[in-house]
Amino acid sequence: MIVEHCYVRRDGRYHSRQLGIHDDSVIPGLAQLARVVKTCDTVVGVQLAHVGGRATHESIGGQPVAPSDGVMSPGGREPLRALTLPKLDALEEAYIAGARRAVEAGFDCVQLHGVHSFLLCEFLSPLK
């Protein structure tokens, strides 16, 4: 079983009620989720995600990010801010830390969530 995608950084959150895996403080709650699912004799995994341009100013408290400057968010809601190479390095570290937290919480596997025009998918688009 794969639970919903968890944001690896606060600027990658889709909505306020989404699961996060962005900080060590969330490990106990995620561990409880993994334990409960495993009581049904199943393997449980978690998706790691950053929603990129699908985020909104309201959901993250700032300007959403994307691979390139000058691109508008889906639906033309707001302009997106380009990720610089140092910010990409930090994002890579956030994914690594998220995977470590998933293992510490007792998940059996992790999956990189790269669809629905989220950030990983945006890097594949010639429009972003």
Point out which residues pair with 111 in neighbouring strands. 47
Whether the predicted pLDDT of 127 surpasses 80 = no
Question: What is the model's pTM?
Answer: 0.91
18-55 pLDDT, tens per residue? 999 999 999 999 999 999 999 999 999 999 999 998 88
Question: Could you give the CA distance from residue 69 to residue 40 in angstroms, rounded to a whole number?
Answer: 46
45-102 pLDDT, tens per residue? 999 999 998 888 888 999 999 898 877 777 667 888 899 999 999 999 999 999 999 9
- Closest residue by Cα to residue 55 from 102, 16, 90: 16
